[in-house]
Structure 1
Amino acid sequence: MKIDNTSKALGAYGAQSKPVRRESTPSTSDSASASASDNVAINPKIGAVEREVANAPAFDAAKVDAIKQAIASGSFQINPDKIADQLIASAQDLLSR
């Protein structure tokens, strides 16, 4: 099994958007005046968080190597109870959203 970081499967589990019904569309003059008076403030800490995330590796290479070696040597232990518990917790988390 090849492990890569392309994350193709994540697209299948991403947030699904629902269509939004609008009662009426605002006129162009209403939207122009509303946008002129709207103010947006972005938290200055977001830049530091973005830099930290950008510099972090996509995965733990040392952990992946350790797992590869354990599989190759035949010493990799699978705990089906832990896997089942994590799957149930993940499903419950998704259903509660």
Structure 2
Amino acid sequence: MFKVPHQVYTTEFKEAAVQRVKDGQGLSAVSRELGMSTQTLRNWLKASEAGKLNGPGAKVVRAEQMELSRLRAENKRLQMELEIAKSVAFFAKDLL
């Protein structure tokens, strides 16, 4: 099994995601569209309401870092899908 790397998000990304939920879009729909956990978005929403979306210890994340993190996560997910497809093909050939 592959471990999905920890993703890093910019402040702007977090604020935009939270704003979409506040504008009336569903929490699940927004998280699915952005390719992230619903719980993470829920945590951001709570932090935003408390005025602590980016706490005092939050580090600044460049857009390139965020994109690299997203691409690494997508790569791991695709590798997992490929392994599953290989396994299915292996067992399917025995049935034919």
Structure 1 and Structure 2 fold alike (TM over 0.5): no
Q: Which has the higher contact order (CA 8 A, sep 6+)?
A: 2
Q: Larger helix proportion, structure 1 or 2?
A: 2
Q: TM-score, normalised by structure 2?
A: 0.32
Please identify the structure whose Cα radius of gyration is greater.
Answer: 1
Q: TM-score, normalised by structure 1?
A: 0.32
